[in-house]
A and B are shown apart, each in its own frame.
Chain A
């Protein structure tokens, strides 16, 4: 069963992350790297991706005269996707356990960030009739 683990945050959360010391950031990334390596070794890893900062985010709303209508203004409350992991696991509980490990990755001073991780399954669409 494939699941996607979504890490989200507000602009203010991203700003506080950018204020972390280099040492704290390295420790955080080291744990994420170890988790990804373990998932690869166990055959559960499918994909991971980190997104660029929310300050560069745009929203596209249709088009006008053949050109896309873009906007870069978001409410303060907007939850931006920061990154995701796709895992292929035996049970939903295992997907949640992996999400728990990512949530426990260390933040400033080595304390777990406890950042919430959203766990979702994938949609299935019927194949077109041939």
Chain B
């Protein structure tokens, strides 16, 4: 079963993150690298991506004639996707355990952040889209 683990945050969370010390940032990135390597070594890793800053996010809607209407204004409460992991595991419980580890990634002064990680099953997107 494939699951996606999603890390999200508001713009305020990003602003805080931007203030972390270099040491705190390096510790967090090192954790993420080790975590990714562990997922690969245990054979559950499918994909991971970290997304760019919300300041560069755009919202696109189709206009009347199908043209792209672009907007860059979001409500303060907007939860932006920060990054995700896709894993292939035996059960939802295994996915939750792995999500708990991501949730415990170190923040300022090395303390586990306990951030919420959303866990969802992914569908066979490629097959559905005839690829």
Contacts and interface: CB of A to CB of B under 8 A. Distances in A.
Interface size class of B (residues with CB under 8 A): 35 or more
A34 B116 CA distance: 36
Interface string B39-52: 00000000101111
Contacts, number: 168
Interface string B106-131: 00000010111111111101101111
Given A48-B126, A51-B123, A70-B96, A57 B118 contact: yes
B51 A120 contact: yes
Contacts of B81: 6, 81, 120
Contacts of B118: 57-60
Interface in B13-44: 29-30, 33
A112 B100 contact: no
B91 to A, nearest CB: 12
A116 interface: yes
Nearest to A70: B96
Interface in A51-100: 51-52, 54, 56-63, 67-70, 77-81, 83, 86, 92, 96-97, 99-100
Contact of A56 (B97, B99, B112, B120): B120
A54 B4 CA distance: 12
A98 to B, nearest CB: 8
Interface of B: 4-6, 29-30, 33, 47, 49-54, 56-63, 66-70, 77-81, 83, 86, 92, 96-97, 99-100, 103-104, 112, 114-123, 125-126, 128-131
